[in-house]
Structure 1
Amino acid sequence: MAHTPLHPDLPRLPPRHVPRPRLRDALLEADCRLRLLCAPVGSGKSVLLGECMRHCPAETRLVHLDLRGQPLGAEAFVQRLATALGLPATDLAGIERHLDDESRPLWLLLDDYPRFPDAELDHALNELILCSPHRVRWWVASRRRPQLQLTRLLLDGELFELGSHELAFRENELGELLQRAGHHWSRSAILGLMEQSQGWCAGLCLCLLGLKPGQRISVEAGNALVLEYLKREVLDELPGDWQQALYSLAHFPHFDRELCEQSLGVGEGVQLLTHLQECGLFIEPVDQEGRLLRVQPALASLLAAQLPASMAKALYRKACQWYVSREQIGPALEYAFKAEQPDVAASLMERYTQDRLLQGHGLALLLEWCRELPTELRGSTPRLALLNAWALLLGGRLDEGEEYVVALERFLPQPDARQQWELIAQWKTLAGKLAFHRGAAEQARALLAEAVAELPERAWSQRLVCYLMQIEQALIEGDFDHAQELNRVAIKQAREHASLAFESLMALEHVKLLEIRGELLRAETLLNRLYSELAGAWGAEPSPMRGRTQLLRAGLLLQRGCYPEAEAAFESGLRECQACADPAAVWGHLGLAELSALHGDVAGAFTRVSDAERAMQYNHISVQLYQGLLLLTKARLWLGQGRHAQVEKAVRGQLAGGTQLPPFGAPELNVRLHLLLTQARLAAGEVGEALDSLRSMHARALEEGRRPLACEIGFSLAEALHAGSRQAQAKQALLDALALARQMGLASLERAFALRNPAMRQWASKSAGNTGESAHAALLSRRELDVLKLIAQGFSNQQIAEMLFISLHTVKTHAQRINFKLGVERRTQAVVRAKELGLTS
Structure 2
Amino acid sequence: MSQLLSAMAALPRPPSAHLQRERLEDRLLARNYRLRLLCAPAGYGKTVLLNDCLRRRQAGVRCLWLDLGGHTPSFAQFCLRLADGLGLEPKAAADGDALLALLESSKLCWWFAFDDFPADACAELNAWIDRLLRSQAPVQLWVSCRQRPAWKLARLLLEGELLELGAGQLAFNGQELETLAERLDPLAGPSSLAQLWLQTQGWCAGVRLLLGTESRNERAGGTWMREYLGGELLAFLAEDQRKLLLSVAYLPRVSIGFCARLWPERDAGTLLRGLLQSASFFQPLGGDGQWHRLLPAVALALQGELAAAELKRLRLDACRLLCEDGFIDEAIELALSTQQPEMAASLMERLTLDWMFSERHLHTWLNWLTRLPERTLESSPNLIYLNVRALLSSWRLDDAQTHIARLAWAMPQPKARNNSRLLANWQALQGTLYGLSGDADSAREHCHSALQHLELRDWPSSFLCYSTLARVSMAAGEPEQARLLLDSSLQLARRHRCIASEVLINADRIRQLILNDELALAESVLQECLALVAADGGSHDLLLSRLLLLRGELCLLRGDLQAGESALRAGLERGTESSDPYVLHALIGLSEVASCKGELWQAQQHLRNAERHMQRCRVSEACYKGLIDYQQMRLLVRQKDWQAILPLARNAISADIGRLPPLHAPSLPQRLQLMLALAELGTGKPEHAAKRLQALLAACERLSFRGLLAEARVALAEVGKHSGVNCADEPTALVRTSLLADWRATPSGPGARDGLTSREFSVLQLVAHGLSNQEISERLFISLNTVKAHTVKINHKLGVKRRTQAVMRAKSLGMLA
Q: Normalising by the residue count of structure 2, what TM-score does the alignment of the two structures yield?
A: 0.85
In the alignment, what sits opposite 2:780?
none
Asked if structure 2 preserves the Cα contact closer than 8 Å seen for 1:571 and 1:588, the reply is yes
What stretches of structure 1 of length at least 5 have no aligned partner?
Answer: 766-772, 781-787, 789-795, 826-832, 834-841
Per the alignment, residue 732 of structure 2 pairs with 737
Letter in 2 for 1:557: C
The Cα shift of 1:609 comes to 1.0
Amino acid at match of 1:696: A
- Correspondence for 2:143: 140
- The question of 1:271 aligning with 2:270 is answered yes
Deviation at 1:207, TM superposition (A): 5.7
Deviation at 1:539, TM superposition (A): 2.8
Q: Which residue matches 1:829?
A: none
Match of 2:600 among 592, 599, 602: 602
Matched with 1:152 is 155
1:283/1:474 Cα in 2 relative to 1: closer, same or farther (>3 Å)?
A: same
Task: State the alpha-carbon separation in 2 of the partners of residues 217 and 367 from structure 1.
Answer: 37
Instruction: Give the distance between the partners of 2:20 and 2:639, measured in 1 at CA.
Output: 54
| Percent identity between the two aligned chains | 32
Residue of structure 2 in register with 1:343 after alignment: 342
- 1:68 maps to 69
SS class of match (1:243): helix
Whole-Å separation in 2 of the counterparts to 1:437 and 1:817: 42
Q: How many angstroms apart in 2 are the aligned matches of 1:674 and 1:155?
A: 68
Matching of residues 246-395 of structure 1 within 5 Å:
246-265=245-264, 268-286=267-285, 290-395=289-394
How many Å separate the matches in 2 of 1:56 and 1:13?
16
- Residue of structure 1 aligned with 2:115, choices 88, 94, 111: 111
Q: Is the 8 A contact 1:429 1:466 kept in 2?
A: yes
1:570 CA displacement: 1.1
Q: How far did residue 463 of structure 1 move?
A: 0.7
| Structure 2 match to 1:682 | 681
**Residue type matched to 1:142 in 2?**
C
- Measured after TM superposition, the shift of residue 313 of structure 1 is 3.4
- Partner letter of residue 490 of structure 1? S
In structure 1, distance between residues paired with 2:289 and 2:349: 33
CA distance in 2, matches of 1:797, 1:546: 31
Find the aligned partners of 2:394 and 2:17 in 1 and give their Cα distance. Answer: 50
Whole-Å separation in 2 of the counterparts to 1:802 and 1:701 = 35
Pair 223,371 (structure 1): closer, same or farther in 2 beyond 3 Å: closer
Q: Deviations over 1:670-699 (max 9, x none)?
A: 222233233323333333233222212212
Q: Which moved more, 1:302-311 or 1:20-29?
A: 20-29
Match of 1:748 among 700, 725, 737: 737
CA apart distance, 1:655: 3.1
Which letter does structure 2 place at the counterpart of 1:326? Answer: D
Q: Does 1:818 align with 2:809?
A: yes
Note the alpha carbon deviations across 1:209-236, whole angstroms, 9 max, x for none: 7x8xxx6688853332332232123313
Match of 1:546 among 537, 544, 547: 544
CA change 1:4–1:818 in 2 (3 A) is farther
Determine the structure 1 residue equivalent to 2:706: 707
Root mean square deviation of aligned Cα? 3.8
Name the amino acid aligned to 1:748: T
Q: Contact 2:251 / 2:318 at 8 angstroms: preserved in 1?
A: no
- Map 1:768-807 onto structure 2 (within 5 A): none
Counterpart of 1:737 in 2: which secondary structure? coil
- In 2, Cα distance between the equivalents of 1:389 and 1:267? 45
**Which SS does the other structure have where 2:801 is aligned?**
helix
> Residue in 2 aligned with 1:40?
41
CA contact (8 A) 1:82 1:90 kept: no
- In the aligned structure 2, how far is the partner of 1:717 from the partner of 1:799? 36
Q: Deviations over 1:322-376 (max 9, x none)?
A: 2311333322222222232211111112222223222122221111112211221
Say whether 1:562 aligns with 2:560: yes
Partners of 1:244 and 1:307 within 8 A in 2: no
Q: Kindly provide the CA deviation profile for residues 86-123 of structure 1, in whole angstroms up to 9, marking residues without a partner as x.
A: 453745555445545556555444332224x3562564
Tell which deviates more after alignment, 428-437 or 74-83.
Answer: 74-83
Q: Distance in 2 between matches of 1:361 and 1:175?
A: 25
CA distance in 2, matches of 1:561, 1:309: 60
| Equivalent position amino acid for 2:493 in 1 | A
1:399, CA displacement in angstroms?
A: 0.9
Q: Is the 8 A contact 1:355 1:461 kept in 2?
A: no
Q: Which residue of 1 aligns with 2:421?
A: 422
Cα distance, 1:224–1:448 mapped onto 2, change above 3 Å? same
Q: What are the Cα deviations for residues 382-426 of structure 1, in whole angstroms up to 9, with x where unaligned?
A: 222222222212211111110121221222111211110011101
Give the number of aligned pairs.
773
Give, as a single letter, the amino acid of the residue that structure 2 aligns with 1:715.
Answer: V
Residue of structure 2 in register with 1:234 after alignment: 233
Alignment partner, residue 120 of structure 1: 123
Q: Note the C-alpha offset of 1:196.
A: 5.5
Query: SS in structure 2 opposite 1:396?
Result: coil
Asked if the contact 1:644–1:684 (Cα under 8 Å) also holds between the matched residues in 2, the reply is yes
Q: Which residue of 1 aligns with 2:779?
A: none
Structure 2 counterpart of 1:837: none
Q: For residue 737 of structure 2, give the secondary structure of its aligned residue in structure 1.
A: helix
> Any conservation in 1 of the 2:477–2:702 contact (CA below 8 Å)?
no
CA contact (8 A) 2:323 2:331 kept: yes
Q: Give distance in 1, aligned partners of 2:533 and 2:123.
A: 49
> CA, structure 1 residues 464+299, in 2 after alignment: closer, same or farther (shift >3 Å)?
same
* Alignment check: 8 A CA contact 1:34 1:129 kept: no
**Change over 3 Å in CA distance of 1:50–1:329 after alignment to 2:** closer
| Structure 1 residue 17, shift from structure 2 partner | 4.8
The residue that corresponds to 2:573 in the other structure is 575
Q: Distance in 2 between matches of 1:146 and 1:373?
A: 50
| 3-state DSSP of counterpart to 2:539 | coil
Please give the alpha-carbon distance, in whole angstroms, between the structure 2 residues aligned to 1:388 and 1:100.
Answer: 72
Q: Secondary structure at the match of 1:294?
A: strand
Q: Are the counterparts in 1 of residues 106 and 137 from structure 2 also a CA contact under 8 Å?
A: no
Q: Which residue of 2 aligns with 1:785?
A: none
Q: Secondary structure at the match of 2:43?
A: coil
> Displacement, 1:278?
2.7
Moved more, 684-693 or 165-174: 165-174
Moved more, 444-453 or 269-278: 269-278
Deviation at 1:247, TM superposition (A): 2.9
The letter for the 2-side match of 1:37 is L
CA contact (8 A) 2:794 2:806 kept: no
* Deviation sequence 1:234-259 (CA, Å, 0-9, x none): 31342222123223333345544333
CA drift at 1:588? 0.9
Q: Residues 472-491 of structure 1 correspond to what in structure 2 (within 5 A)?
A: 472-491=471-490
Q: Deviations over 1:270-324 (max 9, x none)?
A: 3122211332322243556544433234433222455555444333323322231
Q: For 1:717-759, what per-residue CA distance to the aligned partner results, in whole angstroms no more than 9, with x for missing partners?
A: 1222222221x23xx44x2333xx4xxxx5433xx2245x4xx
TM-score (norm 1): 0.82
Corresponding residue of 1:494: 493
Question: CA–CA distance in 2 between the matches of 1:310 and 1:577?
Answer: 39
Q: Which runs of 5+ in 2 are unaligned?
A: 755-763, 765-789
Q: Distance in 1 between matches of 2:545 and 2:577?
A: 9
Of the structure 1 ranges 499-508 and 683-692, higher mean CA displacement relative to structure 2 is found in 683-692
SS in 1 for 2:732: helix
Q: Which amino acid aligns with 1:422?
A: R
Q: Distance in 2 between matches of 1:62 and 1:153?
A: 22
Is contact 1:551-1:588 (8 Å) kept? yes
CA offsets, 1:422-461, max 9 Å, x none? 1110111111111112211111111111011111111101
| Letter of the structure 1 residue corresponding to residue 740 of structure 2 | F
- In 2, are the aligned partners of 1:174 and 1:190 still within 8 Å (CA)? no
